[in-house]
Amino acid sequence: MSSKKKIILTLISIFILFVIVIVANNSFFKKKAKLYIPFDVITFFKVITNYDGNLFAHYENDYKVKFLPETQWITVKFSKNNLDFIKRGKLGSYPFLIDFNQDDLYLTDTSGSIYVSDINHVLDGDTSKFKKIKTNLSQKIAESVMIDKPDILIIKDKIYFASGRTDNDCTSVELYSGNLSKDFIEFKLIFSTKKRFNTCLNVKNNFGRIEHYFDGIDDNILLSIGHSGIDNDDTFGSIILINEQKKYSETFAKGLRGVLGIYADENLILAVDNGPKGGDEINKIEKGNHYGFPFVSYGEKYVNPDYSTPTYLENHEKKGFTEPIHAFVYAYGTAEIMKLPNDFSNFWQDNFIITTLNGRHLLRIKFSEDYNKLLFNERIYVGERIRDIKYHKNSKSLILALTSTGSIGIMKN
């Protein structure tokens, strides 16, 4: 190659790099990039532009941090398979949630559609076998009014579907139930915040999760409702207990901002709560307790330019509220929490797993015996927003709902 061509190619390369730097630092581009450009491409831009001025410092900062398939004590098998039928959400990702009925994996997305597949097909890497189940949900909830975080829950021969809707500027959260079927599910409405509280929710209500709770007598549903978004208003930001058979509901706990994950057994309820900027919490939920938001938090408001004065009081107990088991200063965007069966690994005993959205990690954690203290926390970087996670007993596999790309993740020991 002649020296003249080399000079021209060098100049072209410098010009392209200059354009990339300008565009990558444009706030409008950054906002749109998060919605429409693949995460790997965004990461590439961050690397070549040294966007935070700490490119090389990150190498030393990650000293001793393990990356999949390695974890701190074990090496796992990790794979992911794309679901090309999942609908894209309003914010650019592909939110979907999952649940099991024996070897059948069910999932739902932002269209309110419900799909099912034998998990063995998924474990073999074949996601083409998912079948769309016919339902009457489209007659009850128009697709145009759906909030983008629906959830499903299977209890024995029943399937539950929770969703939000906004009609004429009035937002509500609803819970439906139907008999489990692979052919047709006829859902009926069993709970509505509009009917229960005779008021509307904030249009940005961070509705979150439904979970089964057997209290020793009855099968109940726990439904989380996000905070209203209004300062000094704790009308919502709660967990609702719903008993379908008794046609009964009550506010079980309050003072929560946005619970996207609940674990419940007969003796214990845990909830992971999204804080404002930082302050994500793990709470031990007890009936009648108030967990402080919006009056106290270990996080801060997103809109507080100088941070010269804390937005919230931090000490929950002094103000008569219940302290969290643990609060994360970093804004992980905590989502689901599950108790991991001990047969997954001899090194992962009595562990819980928390998924994160903003953090793109799994958090492997262990509590003290009384669940009043977090003993440790291992971050396992996955690289995608992880909205949901379930455990398949027969294959001893963790199944992850990866919503950055709309993929099923599979983690096996």
Contact 293, 270 (CB under 8 A): no
- The answer to whether residue 59 is domain-embedded is no
Q: How far apart are CA 105 and CA 389, in angstroms?
A: 12
Number of domains in the chain: 2
The verdict on residue 56 lying in a domain is no
Residues 70 and 40 in one domain: no
More confident residue, 190 or 58: 190
Higher pLDDT, 127 or 64: 127
> What is the identity of the amino acid at 225?
I
- For the ranges 16-20, 88-92, 257-261, 389-393, which has the lowest average pLDDT? 16-20
Choose between 62 and 32: higher pLDDT. 62
Q: With respect to residue 358, please indicate whether it lies within any of the assigned structural domains.
A: yes
> Is residue 404 a part of any domain in this protein?
yes
| Spatial distance between the Cα atoms of 256 and 224, rounded to a whole number of angstroms | 9
Instruction: Please name the amino acid found at residue 203.
Output: V
User: Do 25 and 174 fall within a single domain?
Assistant: no
* Low-confidence winner among 112-116, 127-131, 148-152, 318-322 (lowest mean pLDDT): 148-152
Q: How many CB atoms neighbour CB 401 within 10 A? A: 27
The confidence score (pLDDT) of residue 141 equals: 76
CATH number for 72: 2.120.10.30
- Same domain membership, residue 252 and residue 124: yes
Residue 33 in this model has a pLDDT that exceeds 70: no
DSSP for 359-403, written as a single string: S-EEEEEEE-TTSSSEEEEEEEE-SS-EEEEEEETTTTEEEEEET
Q: Is 106 contained in some domain?
A: yes
Judge if 325 and 353 occupy the same domain.
yes
Q: Are residues 31 and 94 in the same domain?
A: no
- Give the whole-angstrom CA distance, residue 297 versus residue 254: 14
pLDDT bucket at 20, cuts 50 / 70 / 90: low
- The whole-model pTM stands at 0.89
Element (H, E) at 176: strand 170-179
Residues 41 and 130 in one domain: no
In this prediction, residue 46 has a pLDDT band, given cuts at 50, 70 and 90, of: confident
Q: Tell me the CA distances in angstroms from 392 to 101, 311, 337, 382, 400, one per residue in order.
A: 10, 43, 15, 19, 11
Kindly report, residue by residue over 315-342, the tens digit of the pLDDT.
Answer: 999 999 999 999 998 889 999 999 999 9
Asked if residue 388 is part of any domain, the answer here is yes
Q: 40 with 98, same domain? A: no
Q: Do 20 and 128 share a domain, yes or no?
A: no
pLDDT beyond 80 at 51: no
**Domain boundary residue, one of 11, 26, 49:** 49
Q: What is the pLDDT of residues 52-68, one digit of tens each?
A: 777 777 667 777 778 88
Looking at the chain, the whole-number percentage of residues with pLDDT higher than 70 is: 89
In a domain, 54, yes or no: no
- Confidence at residue 233, expressed as pLDDT on a 0 to 100 scale: 87
Residue among 275, 386, 403, 264 at smallest CA distance from 336? 386
CA distances to 30, 53, 54, 270 from 58, in Å: 21, 10, 6, 34
Read off the pLDDT of residues 237-269 as tens digits, 9 standing for 90 and up: 999 999 999 999 999 999 999 999 999 999 999
Both 44 and 100 in one domain: the answer is no
68/134 same-domain check: yes
Q: Are 296 and 228 members of one domain?
A: yes
Q: What is the DSSP letter of 247?
A: T
128: exposed, middle or buried (Cβ count in 10 Å: 0-12, 13-18, 19+): exposed
Share of the chain above pLDDT 90, in %: 63
Whether 89 has a pLDDT exceeding 80, the answer reads no
372 and 283: one domain?
A: yes
Which pLDDT score is estimated for 23?
56
pLDDT bracket for residue 306 (50, 70, 90): low
Q: Which domain holds residue 80?
A: 64-412
pLDDT at position 146 over 80: no
Instruction: Return the ∠ at Cα 234 (arms to 232 and 239), rounded to 5°.
Output: 155
Residue 261 lies in a domain: yes
pLDDT over 90 (residue 274): yes
Q: Which amino acid is at 402?
A: L
